[in-house]
Amino acid sequence: MSTRTSALDAVIFGVDVQSGDVRGDVSYALVVFDGETAERDVVSRRKLRRLIDGEQPAIVATDNVYELAEDKDALIHLLRELPAGTRLVQVTGAERPEPLSRVARRNGVPYGKDPMQEAEAAARLAARNVGYEVSAFENTTQVKVSRGRSTGSGGWSEDRFTRRIHGAVKRRAREVESELDEAALDYEKEVTEKYGGYSSAMFTVEATPEELPVSRERSGDTRIEIERERRDGIEFRPLAKRRDPVLVGVDPGTTTAVALVDLDGGVLDVHSTRTADTAAVIEWIIERGRPLVVAADVTPMPDTVEKIRRSFDAAGWVPSSDLPVDEKQHRTRDVAYDNDHERDALAAALFAHDDHADQFDRITRKLPPALDRCEVLARVVGGEESVEAVVADLTEDDDESEESGGEAPPEPSPEQKRISRLEDQVERLEGRIEDLTETVEEKDDRIAELQEELERERSQQRQETRERREVARLQRETERLERELEAEREHTEELEGKLARLKELWKLDHSNFADVAPEKRDLVPVKPIEQFTREAIHGADERFGLAEDDVIYLRDASGAGRSTAELLVDVDPRVVLKDGGLSGVADQMLFEAEIPVAPADDVTIQEVDELAVARESEVEAAIEDWEERAEQRRREQNREMVDRLISEHRAREEQSSSD
């Protein structure tokens, strides 16, 4: 597990109460630590929050999280408000923290009782991956897409407004879903459908907020809210696993090589890279052990190796003169390596172990069984302290000062000898326990590897499931498009048939019948008009055009006035076939314009969609019949006119005689 927070590429805030009470007015001692320098300041609670939001440190470290929050609810609120990527760390332990002074001494970090010194100690401990991350949230995040404004109430315009907002929510929800799919994140979706779209859509995503492709926003009709799912309580998670002490050999350059050796001289790992920077090399070392000695194969120590050494507060080792190639080859003859850079790093680590092997043995023999060997070795080798001083420092109580010396112990009694034998037996049993603990840790590591493999398999299965869902969706979309295509083909065939019929009618209307089939040469096109109104006449003219010498069919000839009749007279049709009776005005105007009018029943009309056809012979017969009736009507009108003139003449003569 890599939890590197080395300040070489991250900023750490160390915080401790300077004055006041966390439940009221309080000021904090703040140390901003970047791995090499520490900036100090005294800030208010509000300024501390602004600095955290502005600089977004990797860690906010303290010896007690309840110095930043007065109770559990306030702590949860603080965790929710921290920037993405910023962790809250309690460096003194989990639910039952140790005194900060004890933790600082155990890890070789300077400590003082002044609040600013305690804040700096917390920052430096967190930089060494000491402490527990405080968390109240799962790695599950809820993304809610909802309305960005109220829909109001009442009125037709409010209906349109509501429909627009719900449509915008639906569109934005689909965009969020698409972005989650592109990021290959697992999620569950729940929508609330409303008039015109969605009133809200909830996505429960298996990811932290910083892993999401979307963020909080409020834009016009929609808004997006993001909230992590809470745990039932507060959880403390260690920043790093236990790391065994190692000796590190480094060969810097265009290709950087690193080798790790344990305290028994066994080679643990070797690595070389042309692309990784110093921070990446340090992270690689952190993941594999706790360096006691950092070594180089040349003297003086190169700057890059010195920088790595300082980052771990480890002891340095260089040879009295640059190691010859033949000595390096001989010392690494039993070890496999890929290139000369790895050989040089291995040689530096192995020669450093050779120089410290006797010292390691002497220190180990002097240690009481209850003390951590790694802690003592780190302080003796790296800090150049005596074994006795370190043992006394680690075994004394926090409130007791270190004793400078004492009288020589008296001759042990039989009871004391028995106690000593029992202590030796306990020591052997504790050694056995350590061996068993190492076996358990190895099994735990194997279990972790298998769990990672299982997680990879599950991830692959989830990916395959998403792919199957996508294939099913595409298949449904393909089927829908095929249905639409089939419907369009049927519509096209229908239109093609209609076009063929219209072409036949056009031939009838515009040709000299030489290219028309013999069985159709006696046909003439008829153009129907639904009613004898101006709107109907204009509509027919827009659909298929009305021209001189057309045969026009009035489905309803009633109700026409003078202006309507004039509109039809202007067309000057060949004949007007009608259903129903004409008004007197329209009949007179058509008669005066010498436009034949005949009952539609006298002609056999066959309708084709919006047009129709009739037999030429029947149309001619209808025209001839009208001409006969028109001639008779003109004679009658002339007769009536002559009778009227005679009557008027006689009336004038009688008037003259009486006068």
Task: Using alpha carbons, list the distances in angstroms from residue 491 to 477, 483, 496.
Answer: 21, 12, 9
pLDDT tens digits, residue range 525-574?
888 998 989 999 888 888 878 888 889 999 888 878 888 889 989 989 99
Pairwise CA distance, residues 119 & 220, whole Å: 45
pLDDT tens string 356-400: 888 888 887 777 765 666 677 777 776 666 777 777 766 654 344
Which amino acid makes up residue 503? K
12-130 carries CATH number 3.40.50.300? no
The residues pairing with 188 across neighbouring beta strands, listed in sequence order, are: 204
Average pLDDT of 121-144?
A: 87
pTM above threshold 0.75: no
Average pLDDT, the chain: 83
Lowest mean per-residue pLDDT among 42-51, 60-69, 413-422 = 413-422
| 499's tokens | 């076009």
What is the pLDDT at residue 203? 92
pLDDT for the residue numbered 391: 72
pLDDT given at position 74:
87
Specify the pairing of strand 315-317 against strand 256-261: unpaired
Determine the pLDDT at residue 63: 93
**Which residue did the predictor score with more confidence, 60 or 515?**
60
Q: What is the pLDDT of residue 339?
A: 92
Tell which residue, 258, 243, 249, has the closest CA to residue 290. 243
pLDDT per position as a tens digit, 291-328? 889 999 999 999 999 999 888 888 899 999 999 999 99
Decide if pLDDT at 248 tops 60: yes
Q: Which amino acid is at 47?
A: K
Separation in Å, CA 385 to CA 372, 373, 376, 389: 16, 14, 9, 7
Q: What are the C-alpha distances in Å from 238 to residues 4, 11, 133, 134?
A: 12, 19, 6, 9
Over range 244-260, report the average pLDDT. Answer: 91
Write down the residue that tokens 């009778």 correspond to. Answer: 643
Q: What is the pLDDT of residue 400?
A: 43
Eight-state DSSP code of residue 206? S
pLDDT band for 583, please (50, 70, 90 cuts). confident
Q: What pLDDT, on the 0 to 100 scale, is given for residue 230?
A: 77
Q: Which residue has the tokens 């559990």?
A: 72
Mean of the pLDDT values across residues 582-600?
89
Q: Give the right CATH number for 139-238 from 3.40.1350, 3.30.70, 3.40.50, 1.10.287.
A: 3.30.70
- Residue 94 in tokens: 């989990």
Q: What is the mean pLDDT of residues 577-584?
A: 88
Q: Which CATH class is domain 245-383?
A: alpha beta
If pLDDT is split at 50, 70 and 90, which confidence band does 240 have? low
% of residues, the chain, pLDDT over 70: 86
Better-predicted residue by pLDDT, 330 or 435? 330
Q: What is the percent of the chain where pLDDT is above 90?
A: 29
User: Residue 407: what pLDDT?
Assistant: 39
Residue 98 above 90 pLDDT? no
